[in-house]
Amino acid sequence: MKVSGYGAPYAGLAGLLAVTGHDYPVFFRFRGGKGVATSIGALLVYAPYVGLFTVLIWLAVLFISRYSSLGALTAFTLLPLNMLVFKKGLTGLSLSFLFAILIYIKHRENIRRLLQGRESRVGQKKNN
């Protein structure tokens, strides 16, 4: 597969670097976002069907549980399996594990809150 004139491994590496830059931006003292949207964007470039399927998993879990973080964690936990199903090879499998690891590292607090039952749900009003 060619992506913008370069091979898929380079597109995957560029996506991984974009996610890492979003998660740990130099100009904000290495404090950034959680990389889910950037990861999905990179996936849609690298492997469009895998990216679309990842979004659908996230939306399904979000719809059922109303926890956005749980949707992201579930979708990226299943990402390596999706890379295998869509036959993206060793590069896709390696990339999926790295994306998942980054998502889990950045969502440590969300995981704690989920386990404690304190994670806020989408649409839930905040307590003052």
pLDDT of residue 16: 86
pLDDT of residue 21: 85
pLDDT of residue 102: 93
pLDDT digits (tens, 9 = 90+) for 40-68: 999 998 899 999 999 999 999 999 999 99
33 conformational bin, left if phi > 0, alpha if psi -120 to 50, beta if neither: beta
Backbone angles phi, psi at 101, to 5 degrees: -60, -45
pLDDT of residue 23: 80
- Establish if 126 belongs to a structural domain: no
pLDDT of residue 1: 47
- The predicted model scores a pTM of 0.84
Q: Give long-range contacts, CB 8 A cutoff, 24+ apart: 124-127.
A: 124/66
Q: Are 54 and 79 in contact (CB under 8 A)?
A: yes
Residues 6+ apart with CB under 8 A from 46: 3, 8, 11, 12, 15, 88, 92, 95
pLDDT of residue 5: 57
* Parts of the chain with a pLDDT under 50: 1-2, 128
- Establish if 89 belongs to a structural domain: yes
Give the C-alpha separation, 122 to 87, whole Å: 34
- Establish if 60 belongs to a structural domain: yes
The angle formed by the CA atoms of residues 76, 37 and 72, to the nearest 5 degrees, is 30
- Establish if 80 belongs to a structural domain: yes
- Establish if 121 belongs to a structural domain: no
Q: Are 109 and 120 in contact (CB under 8 A)?
A: no
- Establish if 40 belongs to a structural domain: yes
DSSP assigned state of 40: H
* Domain extent at residue 23: 2-116
The domain total for the chain is 1
